[in-house]
Amino acid sequence: MNFDLNENQLMIQQMVRDFAEKEIKPHLLEWDEKEHFPVDVMKKLGDLGLLGIYVPEEYGGSGFSYDEYVTALIELGKVCGGIGLSVAAHNSLCTGHIYYHGSEEQKKRFLPKLASGEFIGAWGLTEPNTGSDAMRMKTTAVKDGDDWIINGAKNWITHGLSGDVSVVLVRTGELLDSKGISAFIVEKGTPGFSAVQIKGKLGVRASETAELIFDNVRVPNANLIGEVGMGFVQAMQILDGGRISIAALSCGVARGAYEASVKYAKEREQFGKPIAQFQGISFKLADMATNVKASELLTFNAAALKNKGAKMTEEGAYAKYFASETAVMCGNEAVQIMGGYGYTREYPAEKFLRDAKLMTIGEGTSEIQKVVISREILK
């Protein structure tokens, strides 16, 4: 299989690289310190076509494949895991759910605005008391005439506060019934729908996280995605693709930490020579390089299957698990290579490490990926 970057990928790679250098790098520390989500930067990414990168042109998207999407996320991750996470969540979760499972009317109504960046998207599955155990969700939707009344709360939701459109998974049937969960589109400003920002995160602090609150929120039946009771099935399919997103972002964070380490090791001298010439350091770099390359190959392999519409549950889990753990390893080694400097915010290593840790948690923990992989190989 050929994983050389195609012409579109090379173009997007350079475009994102130039954008990050100008619009993201100068503000990294400020956004991180203040936990500020730069909505204006997201809008600019929309102008570049990166917020609907695989959405067909007929719905206002760029019409590219998952190859270009993965390439963009890797480049963003090399600079800022927080901005990369926001682009990933917007594309693969909210926008992706409407694109893959929404009606034609829903696609025409919401996708052009999401793809352009006019709308920022959120996606709500997790609740305060249910993470991986989504079947025990307590948020409910009860039919009332031609509407549904939603009550409950969702937690750890990217763009929960700034999102113009949220796709939320709620219980419409019995507890623990996989056919008792449905997906709805909830628009910002709907009476009873509010959000509270979650602060104090370890990393990805430029990406907004919030709790969504539903207090007798009335949603029209037209905002139901697909059929009643199919929300859980839809969510599992969306998470398969979402894992490729996090794998790609992990590759970017890992590569960013690795490249920063190589640069530092060549410049930093001890005992009269660059520390890169010491075997202890060079072997660390070799391990980082090997794991980064393997992560990228796993990720592009999963993306290739996604492009073909083939089943990629197992391959997506491979990529997400390995790449996210690689990101943590590379972040940790970057701090070690840079020593005392790596422990300060003056150098990028500590931020790569902080951002990397979320990758092993979000969209299915490393442990859940092992569950998925073992289940697939033991069928």
Domains and CATH numbers, the chain: 7-120 (1.10.540.10), 122-230 (2.40.110.10), 232-378 (1.20.140.10)
In the numeric block, the tokens 């929120």 are attached to: 217
- Residues 6 or more apart in contact with residue 225 via CB below 8 angstroms: 97, 98, 101, 102, 103, 106, 167, 182, 183, 184, 185, 231, 234
pLDDT at 330 over 70: yes
pLDDT at 98 over 90: yes
251 vs 71: CA distance, rounded Å = 10
3-state secondary structure of 127: strand
Place 126 in a pLDDT band, splitting at 50, 70 and 90. Answer: very high
Per-residue pLDDT at 131: 81
pLDDT at 323 over 70: yes
Per-residue pLDDT at 193: 98
Q: What percent of the chain is modeled with pLDDT above 70?
A: 99
Catalytic sites, residue numbers? 363
Per-chain mean pLDDT for the chain:
96
Residue 117: both structure tokens together: 């960046």
| Chain-centroid distance, C-alpha 160 | 14
In the numeric block, the tokens 């994102």 are attached to: 16
Per-residue pLDDT at 135: 87
pTM: 0.96
Kindly state the average pLDDT of the residues 28-52.
97
pLDDT at 1 over 70: no
The string of pLDDT tens digits covering residues 207-221 is: 999 999 999 999 999
The string of pLDDT tens digits covering residues 263-316 is: 999 999 999 999 999 999 999 999 999 999 999 999 999 999 999 999 999 999
Per-residue pLDDT at 335: 98
